[in-house]
Structure 1
């Protein structure tokens, strides 16, 4: 979702909030007029009050707001125009019914200030023009409104509308500048976050294979030991490419790099998202298996070995490379060095006993007994 979509959604929400406010204003005006008639001295009879002051104006204002809501639902592009037209009509009706209250003309300022929320100068100018037209209509055709105005009011009310428009315009211009500065700040912050993420990725991963690097492996390894001491089992596997020096000597380091990248790809394809694979150094890889039984970890590690033994490399004259693997589960109380040395010993034995093998402590015991 782009910035324009977000802005449109925000404006649509504000339109609906204004419409709800209009309904509240109508309800409050209805209640205030009824309370004044029932409990204060009101200068008209019941029939005239209920029809001319209560029923007719309330129905008219409700019809205007209802029409605006209908248009907002079927043709939102006209919502702004009708929103402030209806607001102006409501202000005119309230002013007409309460013209004896000297400050009531200030209601015409409210639609102008309300339009500033949308940060659209054209909308504010349109709303200001509506208020000027409303004042002219009331003055020209509403006798009682004209009756309660004096010469000062004829100058003050238009002047207030002009000043209100200028203030709203200043709010809009400053708001736009603030929004622009905020957007620039957010963009700079996002770019910085992206740069930091890239730097973080480069500092934690091996550029050639895309796996975690040596330093990252030890960070994850220490965390795994913490979890292991809390009762969460994990398994450590060390993988070494067989005869890799011979590949580099015969085919060159570029071919060796291609083989390393392909081995890493096979490893990534066979482990689960919960596991951590890293290039430990040279042609050696390390995997931390989490959330798995020992049997499941062995199955994944051996699947890597088997798949690599069947993967042909064009750079190696369509021959495969094999790997030797040592695998052991964490035992409670084992130190970081102890577990790593035990797995490294398993890897060493696997390479001595014919290579292309996944060796575990149980298999190592059987091998020693057979020897």
Structure 2
């Protein structure tokens, strides 16, 4: 089991910060404890304060240096630093039984890395180190019974088992969380694709007829409040049935895609383009003077006429366009009918032209 999801640098920094706090608090507590001892001040400061605190500083400083200069086994070094800090506390005051609980420090620290092997290593190192300490420290050697020794080791093993259990539960929850996130992302993608399919035309990528009517309803509702200009242009490809009958529907599809791409590239971000059905396209121009929109629509018509289609053996196609400006309070149906009527006027009057109202 790894801990790739963790930010190792931040984790190491936090653990080292904890060590600094522990060393600082221990120094302060030792100074306060002088009031409760009969040891002479000089002896107390040297043997109970300065020397133990000095060793603690050395352990933490070595860890700090390792983090900066080494790239491997930093986690083991930091765990061992916690073990040495704990052993230092016990060795300096073996008469204080509660200090032996410091042995849980390296085991708890190892759990932060979410790796079973580090927890097992720290537990084994702690048990071995504590056993050796009881052999070299006279007070511990004579003051701890075999039963107490085994009890302490058993408590350390139990602590390790508890940390492993917590770690595995945490990894399990993290796995469920990741699966949930992936599932949500997949659902979001599917919903986005479904929404796109329901709103766009699969051939051209333009918005479809349903989206056009939804957008126009919202646009006219805003127009009632802010009174900006709106024009509707309906494009219809001239003689498109002949294109399909002569060159086939695949060729017709290529023509539709190329014209739709041209329209999308020529209009602005404020405008809205849709394939209304068959060979018809509709564009709603927003916030432009009628004269500017006429010029833009004429430019689109000329560019469509100038395209030479490979699928049509070099032939070109033309479009007829009806362009109508929206009149306040006329309503969507009247607006559409006027633009559609102008389109048919363009068809009847020879095609390949723009009729405006």
TM-score, with structure 2 as normaliser = 0.89
1:224 CA drift (Å): 1.6
**Paired residues of 1:125 and 1:165 also in contact (CA < 8 A):** yes
- Which residue of the partner structure matches residue 365 of structure 1? none
Q: Secondary structure at the match of 1:319?
A: coil
Which of the numbers 161, 169, 172 marks the counterpart of 2:164? Answer: 169
1:331 CA drift (Å): 4.6
2:247 matched to 1:251?
yes
- Which residue of the partner structure matches residue 22 of structure 2? 25
- Which residue of the partner structure matches residue 288 of structure 1? 284
Q: For 1:196-239, what per-residue CA distance to the aligned partner results, in whole angstroms no more than 9, with x for missing partners?
A: 22222222211111111111111222222222223173443322
1:299 CA drift (Å): 4.7
- Which residue of the partner structure matches residue 54 of structure 1? 49
1:6 CA drift (Å): 9.3
1:183 CA drift (Å): 2.6
- Which residue of the partner structure matches residue 38 of structure 2? 43
Change (3 A) 1:101 1:264: same
Equivalent-residue separation in structure 2 for 1:30 and 1:305 (angstroms): 86
Q: For 1:96-130, what per-residue CA distance to the aligned partner results, in whole angstroms no more than 9, with x for missing partners?
A: 33433323222212321332232211111111122
Equivalent-residue separation in structure 2 for 1:102 and 1:144 (angstroms): 11
Equivalent-residue separation in structure 2 for 1:176 and 1:229 (angstroms): 57
Aligned residues: CA RMSD: 2.6
**Paired residues of 1:128 and 1:165 also in contact (CA < 8 A):** yes
2:184 matched to 1:185?
no
TM-score, with structure 1 as normaliser = 0.86
2:236 matched to 1:240?
yes
Equivalent-residue separation in structure 2 for 1:297 and 1:99 (angstroms): 91
Unpaired runs of at least 5, structure 2: none
Equivalent-residue separation in structure 2 for 1:146 and 1:228 (angstroms): 91
Change (3 A) 1:327 1:110: farther
Unpaired runs of at least 5, structure 1: 362-371
1:271 CA drift (Å): 2.9
1:259 CA drift (Å): 0.9
**Paired residues of 1:212 and 1:278 also in contact (CA < 8 A):** yes
Which of the numbers 100, 109, 132 marks the counterpart of 1:137? Answer: 132
- Which residue of the partner structure matches residue 13 of structure 2? 16
Equivalent-residue separation in structure 2 for 1:329 and 1:55 (angstroms): 90
Q: Secondary structure at the match of 2:233?
A: strand
